[in-house]
Structure 1
Amino acid sequence: MNSSNPFKNLKKDIPASIVVFFVALPLCLGIALASGAPPFAGLISGIIGGILVGSLSGSQLGVSGPAAGLAAIVAVAITDLGGFEIFLVAVVIGGLIQIVFGLLKLGIIGYYFPSSVIKGMLTGIGIIIFLKQIPHFFGLDKDPEGDWNFFQIDGENTFSEILSIGEYISPGATLVGCIALAILLLWSNVLQEKSKFFEIIQGPLVAVAVGIIYYIITSDAVYWNISEAHLVNVPVPDGFDSFIGQFKFPDFSQITNVDVIITGFTIAIVASLETLLCVEATDKIDPLKRVTPTNKELIAQGVGNVASGFIGGLPITQVIVRSSANIQSGGKTKMSAILHGFLLLASVILIPTLMNKIPLSVLAAILLIVGYKLAKPSIFKQMWSSGWRQFIPFIVTVLLLQFNFLLGVGVGLALGIIITLFQSYQNSHFLHAVESDVSGRHIVKMVLAEEVTFFNKATILRELDNLPRNTYLELDVSNTSYLDYDVVEILDDFREKAIYKEIDIKLISERGIVENPDSFIEFFKLRPKQDKFKFKRYK
């Protein structure tokens, strides 16, 4: 079976798309609310992210839509630019810039994110999802879904919100949330192993259906009912004209406004970075280990943002919450992302009233499991066992991500680069001292690494300066494919010092052995046409 054929895996993709739909629905609405935008704008970007971006994307499991990481930027931009219609111009500009990024092949940046930072991002987001859903699970819904910031728009922070649950707990919402959680755990841990029927009909669909039934049955109850404040709130149009009236269009008279252009660049850069990070994270947890073409992804995201901006949607990125839910639910191809977009569209047009009977605590139960799977305790144990070079960027990313997405990833990435440079500093060569020969001379063998750059200058210089007098140095570059010019200069300077310290140098390369070369610079520049020496010329 072709695992990437969008029509040969519908048995897996359709159930997965339903789960992603239930995860995406409250997030699209919540992120719009957190951004200070109309709720319908979040649904527009979710629909376009699923159908259009999903169709154009080269990612098989990535799901795109409105991103919580852009909520703060969007909220400030709408206020500063003077209106939502002007902000939409910036979204269109941002999309066009992303298309240019893709054409310029800038997607290659995504391949340079350290694995420890990617795992830290996944784990950190998992913790955020889990913690943010606890209040919703118990019926405390003051802070909207999709507000991932530590300092929330309702004036609380992540922990103070959890601590105040006791004052606002809703018995009905809590009960149906517990029932939904029990169904989800029973479905995934027991029933799916019993029959294929339970693989086709997903637990989240059953949990949502039970939640709707519970709401209808208890609507007249005094103590166990669920108020409208604890339900999904999809905009319900009165008719066709009312539905069309929800679409907003850009005010292109402001397209030359410098502030609008700057906002467009900001959206393009942040959305592109978030997308590339999520692409790397999604590919890492893809069971089939497929690789997403990042340049194609930037173009797809750009087209999506242009379309979203044209009809009143929020900026779009690939988002790890929906992507990981897709993978955890057994999605196999991009068809699951596309179908989730059609489900969002159908819910808005055909059944908004039914959608508004879904308890938020039921959706919180689904997200609790998504968050836990992303941040399992075993991941911390695994990263600790990998050593401090992996663990430090990982844990710093996890901790700082709780406060700000870009801060966590940025600092984690900086640490990863510093540690990589430190490793490069340490691993530039192998030094082996041999016992003195019959004449009493020290024999030292120095083998240079495959690639030696200017970052290795200090450690090589230190080793050479520490060689004692009357030493016989065997310098082996036979396995070196790249030697930076700065390092060659160090070797040449040392050659002159060696004369005064009575140090003889034996240079070993693929071209042969040279005793006390007259010039390292000239040696490495010499490359006769008939010679098959593969050494890359330093630049």
Structure 2
Amino acid sequence: MFKHIKQDLPASIVVFFVAIPLCLGIALASGAPLFSGLIAGIIGGIVVGALSGSHIGVSGPAAGLAAIVLTAIGALGGWENFLVAVVLGGAIQILFGVLRAGIIGYYFPSSVIKGMLTGIGIIIVLKQIPHFFGYDSDPEGDFAFFQVDGENTFSEVFNALNNISPGATIIALIGLGILILWEKVLSKKAKIFQLIQGPLVAVVVGILFYVFTQGNELLAIAPEHLVSVPVPEDAASFVSQFSFPNFAVIGRPEIWVTAFTIALVASLETLLCVEATDKLDPEKRVTPTNRELLAQGTGNMLSGLVGGLPITQVIVRSSANIQSGGKTKLAAIMHGFFLLISVILIPTLLNMIPLSVLAAILFLVGYKLAKPSLFKEMYIKGWKQFVPFVVTVVGIIFTDLLIGIGLGLGVGIVVILIKSYQNSHFLHIQEKDNGKHRVKMTLAEEVTFINKGAILKELDSLPENTYLELDVRKTRYLDNDIIEILDDFALKAKNRNIDILLISERGEAHNPPSYLEFFNLRPKKTA
């Protein structure tokens, strides 16, 4: 595990800085105690990171569950009651893993997964613009298009441009400059610049800028635009931040409905993230999905038991890990320990980090996920790849993650149906021979009810006095609906003077009276 510690250590520090505002922001957006987001981040890093088979995935509280959590806390009668649903949701996820439900993630087409990554990248950039300019005090986890304050993604961007905070903007630009300089120039000059990552330097410079500009009316950064970690006064107040589930309500049906909802949504988000991170992994390693569900379930049970939010594998932190050079699961585990140590020992120092500096870090993460060249690449691959990709991107930007993916998947299925309709058969029309048209129709390897319309259209368009050679030697599956069409056509063929030669691996048949009998789907009639 420690073989790549030179790469994993700096990557874990970057993920740590990215995770802090996301953990707090998602807790705020969920209507939960702020400390619950940090608990979920710590457990997602240490526990799930250790149990998972993913080398570069990072887990923690997810923005996609914020709306579910916010609604459920009120509906179930309080935070402690909701924690029971989190524990049960984790147990259901473990059951999913035992039942080997992890295979579901492989049924999402590549174009949709790439669209998901691109859409999230664009969302990251759009959502960080207000923080970059020191305007928006909305939670970091407010990733939906319509926000908790009544604004939407684009209106917040325009508002930010009209209400720029000079201090936050200046340090954000400095931080962005440091990141670009570090990645493009300094990291290639000496090994020291590879060990000490640009994001760490940008954060340190941001803290120094905040300290030295306090009291300056023009450059001072307002408290609401700083990281806000709960600061305990002593050990007792730190322990008092933990909450515990009220198992007295475990028999209530709504608890179980919420638990199943959490398990289903968290598992789906995790499996999609696993698929996406595996595609981003430079070494193209494959994560065992069933083991991932077991790890996530264990993490959610533990998180619920000590007062944490539900956990999933998260693409923002995972992609930050990959782009910072993380090689093994050690990066995710160490980021969890950094979260734990920091909230105990240095919460005051963390609260000096400007959100605008973290926004600059996330800018680069978002850009790398949504490079303009990817749109060109998907367009070149053809409309069957490009359309589901674009629909997924637009859906994620204007709705949310799961709806966007659902829209992309729906379009992908429609594309499959269209191509299946078009590729049911190959038709070769020859010249007339002794007054008859000679036509050869070769059916595809699999012909289902989806192909009924295309085949029926071709058969009905055959002119009178045609000699039809119907070749099914390559066909491995022929739906009963298609055979019934052929049976019906046999009657029409006699009236239109159409001769049919059926060629199959079993031999040839001239004008077979019954295709159902020929393919042994119905017993032959006896005298």
Cα pair 1:184 1:207 within 8 Å, conserved: yes
Cα pair 2:175 2:360 within 8 Å, conserved: yes
Match of 1:210 in 2: 205
Match of 2:140 in 1: 145
Match of 2:335 in 1: 340
Say which is worse superposed, 424-433 or 167-176, in terms of deviation. 167-176
> Which of 234, 251, 257 is matched with 2:252 structurally?
257
Please give the TM-score of this superposition, normalised by the length of structure 2. Answer: 0.95
2: CA distance between counterparts of 1:335 and 1:524? 59
Match of 2:412 in 1: 416
How much is the aligned-residue C-alpha RMSD, in angstroms?
A: 1.8
- One-letter amino acid of the structure 2 residue matched with residue 69 of structure 1: G
Match of 2:370 in 1: 375
1: CA distance between counterparts of 2:509 and 2:381? 42
2: CA distance between counterparts of 1:18 and 1:318? 18
2: CA distance between counterparts of 1:286 and 1:166? 36
Q: Give per-residue Cα distances to partners, 1:5-47, cap 9 Å, x unaligned.
A: x332222222211111111111000000011111110011111
2: CA distance between counterparts of 1:83 and 1:432? 69
Deviation, structure 1 residue 220: 4.0
> Which of 481, 484, 499 is matched with 2:479 structurally?
484
2: CA distance between counterparts of 1:465 and 1:48? 65
1: CA distance between counterparts of 2:394 and 2:460? 42
Match of 1:425 in 2: 421
Deviation, structure 1 residue 123: 1.2
1: CA distance between counterparts of 2:161 and 2:372? 27
1: CA distance between counterparts of 2:475 and 2:59? 44
Say which is worse superposed, 66-75 or 454-463, in terms of deviation. 454-463
User: Aligned to 1:436, what secondary structure does the other structure show?
Assistant: strand
Asked if residue 192 in structure 1 is aligned to residue 207 in structure 2, the reply is no
1: CA distance between counterparts of 2:338 and 2:364? 22
Cα pair 1:445 1:476 within 8 Å, conserved: yes
> Which of 366, 374, 385 is matched with 2:361 structurally?
366
Match of 1:30 in 2: 25
Say which is worse superposed, 268-277 or 306-315, in terms of deviation. 268-277
Asked if residue 161 in structure 1 is aligned to residue 156 in structure 2, the reply is yes
Residues 495, 333 of structure 1: alpha-carbon distance in 2 compared, 3 angstrom cutoff: farther
1: CA distance between counterparts of 2:28 and 2:222? 19
Deviation, structure 1 residue 139: 0.9
2: CA distance between counterparts of 1:241 and 1:413? 50
1: CA distance between counterparts of 2:338 and 2:48? 15
2: CA distance between counterparts of 1:201 and 1:505? 76
2: CA distance between counterparts of 1:329 and 1:440? 74
Deviation, structure 1 residue 193: 2.2
Match of 1:282 in 2: 277
Match of 1:501 in 2: 496
User: Aligned to 1:435, what secondary structure does the other structure show?
Assistant: strand
Any unmatched runs of 5+ in structure 1? 1-5, 527-539
Deviation, structure 1 residue 349: 1.7
Match of 1:104 in 2: 99
User: Aligned to 1:164, what secondary structure does the other structure show?
Assistant: helix
Trace 1:107-118 onto structure 2 (pairs within 5 A): 107-118=102-113
Cα pair 2:273 2:313 within 8 Å, conserved: yes
Match of 1:59 in 2: 54
Asked if residue 94 in structure 1 is aligned to residue 61 in structure 2, the reply is no
Deviation, structure 1 residue 166: 4.7
- One-letter amino acid of the structure 1 residue matched with residue 441 of structure 2: M
Asked if residue 224 in structure 1 is aligned to residue 219 in structure 2, the reply is yes
Q: Give per-residue Cα distances to partners, 1:53-97, cap 9 Å, x unaligned.
A: 112222222211111011111111111211100110111111111
Say which is worse superposed, 399-408 or 253-262, in terms of deviation. 399-408
Cα pair 1:517 1:523 within 8 Å, conserved: yes
2: CA distance between counterparts of 1:464 and 1:475? 11
Match of 1:535 in 2: none
Asked if residue 455 in structure 1 is aligned to residue 432 in structure 2, the reply is no
2: CA distance between counterparts of 1:523 and 1:200? 72
Q: Give per-residue Cα distances to partners, 1:178-222, cap 9 Å, x unaligned.
A: 110001011111222223332222111111111112222223433
1: CA distance between counterparts of 2:431 and 2:3? 67
Say which is worse superposed, 478-487 or 135-144, in terms of deviation. 478-487
2: CA distance between counterparts of 1:270 and 1:206? 37
Cα pair 1:142 1:154 within 8 Å, conserved: no
Asked if residue 349 in structure 1 is aligned to residue 344 in structure 2, the reply is yes
> Which of 286, 307, 312 is matched with 1:317 structurally?
312
Cα pair 1:450 1:480 within 8 Å, conserved: yes
Deviation, structure 1 residue 321: 0.9
Please give the TM-score of this superposition, normalised by the length of structure 1. Answer: 0.93
Q: Sequence identity of aligned pairs in percent?
A: 68
Any unmatched runs of 5+ in structure 2? 522-527
